[in-house]
Amino acid sequence: MRLNQTRLNHMRLNQMRLNQPDVEPSKPAAGLPGTPGSTRPVIEYCGGTEIGGGYAASTLIAPHRASEFNALAMGSDVVFLNEQNRPCSPGETGEVYIRPPSIGLSTRLLNADNDSVYYANCPELDGRPLRRHGDQVIVGEDGRFRSDGRADDAMNLGGIKVGSVEIERTLNRLPSILETAAVSVPPPGGGPGRLVIFAVLKPQESGPELRPRLNPLLPKEGRNGAPEPESLKTEMQQAIKEHLNPLFHIEDVIITESLPRTASNKVMRKALRAQYTAGKLPR
């Protein structure tokens, strides 16, 4: 969750009781400051236009933990399946499937076939066909769960499946990083995907000495001597080694001023992947 700082400065935060984001789930550190020593809760909500609303929400009558859902949205019936298409056990990561019928589910799409997109090759559960949603979640010990990005943002690095959000969550803890986007880019001649990181630095970290590094997509010998973000790449690689997996190798780090987003504020990783492959970057 990202709040416009100008708008935030004009809010009477002491009068705000809670905040409910309607796009991507918040980060664990998110919270609206209120009186000293207290915060206003962030009530999570997640769904999609194609299902007419949300499938997951949080309720005020149950305890909250940062960036977690403590309930399903009213009227929704979903299941979280692991790679074996079995309901997830606590601690497992799984894909979100919806159990039809449900009010609001799309029946046709403008430029695609609805059945092919949402029902083709989907597993069944208890003899009932499921509908693909595409989100990925991590199931907690007590039935709670938290968002883990999109299943279609998963990548295979060194034979190990990992989600973009999992890598981004690790790198976003670095002190100089505001946000990141991790994508897997296929090499020109084919073969395993290469991990490319797009990074937005915190304002105090983007001084004149780093500005020449923005959007460096030309071959290294053709960048007019602009310094490479090797120190940041080394720091990121060390963070991944210590907190995720030492086999995940970062091929390239791109420092950019912002990440492309949809109208609903979701990061457009596919666009970044395509632009990197074509030798172009968002400006």
C-alpha to C-alpha distances, 18 to 11, 27, 54, 147, nearest whole angstrom: 13, 16, 19, 20
Q: How far is it, in rounded angstroms, from Cα 59 to Cα 43?
A: 7
Structure-derived torsion over alpha carbons of residues 64, 151, 244, 214, reported in degrees to the nearest 10:
-100
**pLDDT computed for residue 211 by the predictor:** 41
What are the pLDDT digits (tens) for 162-176?
888 889 989 999 999
Amino acid type, 260: P
Q: What is the mean pLDDT of the chain?
A: 77
Of the listed ranges 3-12, 77-86, 134-143, the least confidently predicted one is: 3-12
- Mean pLDDT of the 260-280 span: 82
Percent of the chain with pLDDT over 90: 24
Is the pLDDT at 205 greater than 60? The verdict is no
Sorted by where each starts, the structural domains of the chain and their CATH numbers stand as 5-150 (2.30.38.10), 158-277 (3.30.300.30)
**pLDDT computed for residue 5 by the predictor:** 52
Phi, psi (5° rounding) for residue 127?
A: 75, 5
Q: What is the DSSP letter of 254?
A: E
**pLDDT computed for residue 110 by the predictor:** 75
Is the pLDDT at 2 greater than 80? The verdict is no
Is the pLDDT at 14 greater than 90? The verdict is no
Long-range contacts of 238-244 (CB under 8 A, 24+ apart): 239/170, 239/171, 239/173, 239/174, 240/167, 240/170, 240/171, 243/170, 243/173, 244/162, 244/166, 244/167, 244/170
Under DSSP, is residue 169 helix (H, G, I), strand (E, B) or coil? helix
| 165 close to 147: Cβ distance less than 8 angstroms | yes
Tell me how crowded residue 228 is: count the other CB atoms within 10 A of its CB. Answer: 14
**pLDDT computed for residue 147 by the predictor:** 83
